[in-house]
Structure 1
Amino acid sequence: MSSEPRNTMRLKGDLSLFSVVLFGLAYISPGIVVTIFGVVAATSDGAAPTAFAVATLAMLLTGLSYAKMARAVPGSGSVYTYARRMLDSRIGFLSGWAMLLDYFFIPMVGWLITAIYFNAQFPDVPKWVWLIVSVALTTGINAFGMKLADRVNKVLMFIAVGSLVLFATLCVVFLGKHGSSAPVTDSLWNSGTSFGAITAAAAIAAYSFLGFDAVSTLGEEARGGAKTIGKGIIGCVIAAGAIFIVLSFVMQLVHPGAKFADVDAAAYHLKVQVGGETYAEIINFVTIAGSIASCIALQASAARLMYVMGRDGVLPKAVFGRLSAKTGTPVRNLLLTAAAGVIAMKLDLTTATSFINFGAFLGFAVVNVCVIAHLVRERRQGRAPNLFSYLVMPVIGAAVSVYLLTKLGDIALQIGGVWLAIGVIYLAVLTKGFRRPAPEMTFDDDNAPTERDTA
């Protein structure tokens, strides 16, 4: 462990509003809209931009609640922190447990996306082979340490944004030359579209926004504190939503309807259509490189979270709270996430993204409930926050989150339900039948491992 005081690594007051928004966008990775376009278009019956618009509105409602909680609970925050402070330690634990579902399995989605891009480039090699290669590569890098991963990811983000701008431009040029084979309005709503299809697609599209809530953890580093964080969360959701809606709209115009030879690889075929084979292959390699770098960060974050929980006694310390004597990294946790990643061999992108969303939607609903609990506390102390802002809007936000959760596929609901049931049983053991407060998880930077721990 490093002997350097932890607070020397902090960025107190250094982050501007723009930096906070950029952090959220980097975590979200805007290029995900291109990757899952085929799935969203197929599910929405050819109205992908409308599905992304609905998802943006839903995320904005929850983003407003995150902004309120960032002001109410200054410092580094999360759905776990808010639920523990505003509701109950046991509810907070289960919220954190649901959050762990995202962290633990989200690398699996990253590996699956990487395998899909590899397979599109080299179709003669089965997708499962590329999945194994991706898992092994990133696990090996994380096991031996990757101090430059953060810098590499930031560089690749700017490259990725540049490639998105180029792709959007090529789509517009293509439409200028060839036009669209269907009326423009069909990309927003057509004869095959239904409310159920749009909301089901929005539930999948919401995966694109995962990570905007990570902005709430920057409370102590942002210039202006909670006020900047609140604006940053809203700005991040609006900026991401604008990118998703515009890109999905031009893509839907280039390829009207919901029929694809392969919904998972639809983005690659669209790139061939608008830019030719050479362009598609070059951009595909850029996407693969960015995807691998993203997988490194996702897996490292998941392993780090499990290590912190193990060290704090929330998870068995003997398994999760140990570091490798040789490399100083949580190798066991890396191997566990790698094992979970292999599950993707049996899943398609629709199923994988939807069950990751189970934990997210549950967490989003809880954050909205926390705002209502905060309102009750404030009124008891003689203060009267605006009822529309602190009651009506979070009620709508919670209802929308729960509704979107119900629109996930049966497999996603079953996996999420089992995960939550395991959490309830585990919580019962930890609290001696719910009679004691739940142990505290430390998700913030104050109790995080040092650089050597996570290298």
Structure 2
Amino acid sequence: MKEEATLRKSLTLFQVVFLGLAWMTPMIYFSVYGIAYENSHGMMTQAYLLAFIAIFFTAFSYGVMSKKYPTSGSAYAYAKRAIHPYLGFLVGWALLLDYLFSPIIACLTFGIYLHAQFPSVPAYIWIIALNLLLAVVNIIGINFSANLSKLFVLIQIGFIAIFCTVLVNKLMSSGQPVQPLFSGDVPISVILAGASIICFSFLGFDSITTMSEETIRSEKTIPRAIMIIIFTAIVLYTGPSVLTQLAFPAMTFDNVDTAGFELVKMVGGAGLSSLFITVLIMAIFTQGLSSVVSVSRLLYVMGRDSILPKRCFGFVHPKLNTPTNNIIIVSVISLLALVIDLEMAVKFVSFGALSAFICVNLSVIAQCYWKDKQRSFTQTIKYLICPLIGACFIGWLLSLLDKDALIMGLVWLLLGISYHLYRTKWSTASRTGEAPDLKQPTSV
């Protein structure tokens, strides 16, 4: 009997870290600068620190569950095994919003920026070109994707270092007194509102849990990588925010959406702004690359578990050891970037990610505190108090999404429920093979 192809363990700690940072995209600091600045009334540093605290508890929960279940299913697998298979399906379905629409956002922004730079070339040409390139690179293999992501993430970090160096020189040469960084003039409610926007800059640390089955010693590597990613992110975000806040206590922008570009031009002139556009395009590419890796692995696990048609979604190429069918499917779906609105895509991502985050926190309580009865004083803090804080923080962020985002998310969940009912009925009626037993976890 021919042995079925599986994902190959080959990723090291730092390859996983760079894939996660590529998904998160350090340059997102500049992409959301205008919106974050307005919502926090300029208190960017304080808002970033509050956002980090909110995300830290959920990141801790992901680390706990990735040790318990070193599978590529991420939040889907955790909720399925810790709480209930049906909830696992709903979490996986919601998570698909986050992961499926992330490549769409990458393609959209790539087309927008390059069309702005080269107006004679239509945006759809850039969108299609990036889509094809992402598919080819992902099909070649995850190690190639990881190494390319590492290079481009290092370039992004290098740009942020240059930006901070120019700002330091500007502060030192200005001769003007530095304004206090922390001020009581801005209410905490305003800073919290800014933090709710800035939290989305941290989305993506969870994507590496979809690579568990391709990671060497994943039960140790993945939790370490998650913490390295979020601590690296807070350094990369607070560094420029502190310096910018000190150098420019009050700013106004011509266009909120391009405020990051205006800031860079204000700090370093035309030379630094030209470098900014180049690095930003690289950042968009690496974010798209990593997001295709993540969603193709999530689809693979859902296919292997027969939640999605196994023959198609559970297929791994015998030579390349990559889920080629899923990569092609994701590339086709990503063509929605030709017709969909960027704001709508962002709303889908936000709803999917935050819904999954809540369930991962609850999964820690269900698995460790309830099932495994880990209830000592220290364990109560780790497996009950911390996840509850994380779930409350994320639930609060979810409640801040606008009505359209919540309605679209609920419609997507209803579609998932309808599909699950149809799939279950079809499996029961079929006599050509056994129906998948959703009550038993799939072995990894």
Cα distance in structure 2, aligned partners of 1:411 and 1:384? 42
Task: Tell me the secondary structure at the aligned position of residue 307 of structure 2.
Answer: coil
Mapping for residues 204-219 of structure 1, pairs under 5 Å: 204-217=197-210, 219=212
Q: Which residue of 1 aligns with 2:396?
A: 403
Q: Which residue of 1 aligns with 2:273?
A: 280
Q: Which residue of 1 aligns with 2:9?
A: 10
Give the counterpart of 1:44 among 36, 40, 44. 40
8 Å contact kept, 2:9–2:215: no
Cα distance in structure 1, aligned partners of 2:66 and 2:178? 45
8 Å contact kept, 1:106–1:298: yes
Give the 3 Å change call, closer, same or farther, for CA 40–222 of structure 1 in structure 2: same
8 Å contact kept, 2:95–2:352: yes
8 Å contact kept, 1:37–1:248: no
8 Å contact kept, 2:27–2:283: no
Mapping for residues 146-165 of structure 1, pairs under 5 Å: 147=140, 149-165=145-161
Q: Which residue of 2 aligns with 1:356?
A: 349
After TM superposition, give the deviation of residue 105 of structure 1 in Å.
0.7
After TM superposition, give the deviation of residue 416 of structure 1 in Å.
1.8
After TM superposition, give the deviation of residue 383 of structure 1 in Å.
8.0
Mapping for residues 52-201 of structure 1, pairs under 5 Å: 52-76=48-72, 78-118=74-114, 121=117, 129-130=122-123, 132-142=124-134, 147=140, 149-178=145-174, 183-185=179-181, 191=185, 193-201=186-194
Cα distance in structure 1, aligned partners of 2:437 and 2:46? 42
Give the counterpart of 1:30 among 26, 32, 49. 26
8 Å contact kept, 2:18–2:149: no
Give the counterpart of 2:370 among 360, 376, 396. 376
Deviations 1:254-290 (A, max 9, x none): 4444632112211111111111112211331232133
After TM superposition, give the deviation of residue 97 of structure 1 in Å.
0.7
Which amino acid in structure 2 is aligned with residue 159 of structure 1? I
Unmatched segments (≥5 aa) in structure 2: 318-323, 429-434
TM-score by length of 1: 0.79
Q: How many pairs does the alignment contain?
A: 425
Cα distance in structure 1, aligned partners of 2:283 and 2:274? 14
After superposition, the CA RMSD in angstroms is 3.9
Task: Tell me the secondary structure at the aligned position of residue 382 of structure 2.
Answer: helix
Task: Tell me the secondary structure at the aligned position of residue 26 of structure 2.
Answer: coil
8 Å contact kept, 1:139–1:296: no
8 Å contact kept, 1:109–1:353: yes
After TM superposition, give the deviation of residue 362 of structure 1 in Å.
1.1
Give the 3 Å change call, closer, same or farther, for CA 343–174 of structure 1 in structure 2: farther
Give the 3 Å change call, closer, same or farther, for CA 323–366 of structure 1 in structure 2: closer
Cα distance in structure 2, aligned partners of 1:440 and 1:281? 55
TM-score by length of 2: 0.81
Mapping for residues 223-372 of structure 1, pairs under 5 Å: 226-257=219-250, 259-299=252-292, 301-302=294-295, 305-306=298-299, 309=302, 313-315=306-308, 331-339=328-336, 341-344=337-340, 346-348=341-343, 352-372=345-365
Which amino acid in structure 2 is aligned with residue 42 of structure 1? E
Stretch of structure 1 that moved more, 73-82 or 212-221: 212-221
Stretch of structure 1 that moved more, 244-253 or 389-398: 244-253
Give the counterpart of 2:381 among 375, 388, 407. 388
After TM superposition, give the deviation of residue 206 of structure 1 in Å.
2.0
Cα distance in structure 2, aligned partners of 1:377 and 1:384? 17
Task: Tell me the secondary structure at the aligned position of residue 153 of structure 1.
Answer: helix
Deviations 1:379-404 (A, max 9, x none): 2x998872122111111110111001
Give the 3 Å change call, closer, same or farther, for CA 62–266 of structure 1 in structure 2: same
8 Å contact kept, 2:79–2:91: yes
Give the 3 Å change call, closer, same or farther, for CA 301–360 of structure 1 in structure 2: closer
Unmatched segments (≥5 aa) in structure 1: 447-455
8 Å contact kept, 2:137–2:145: no
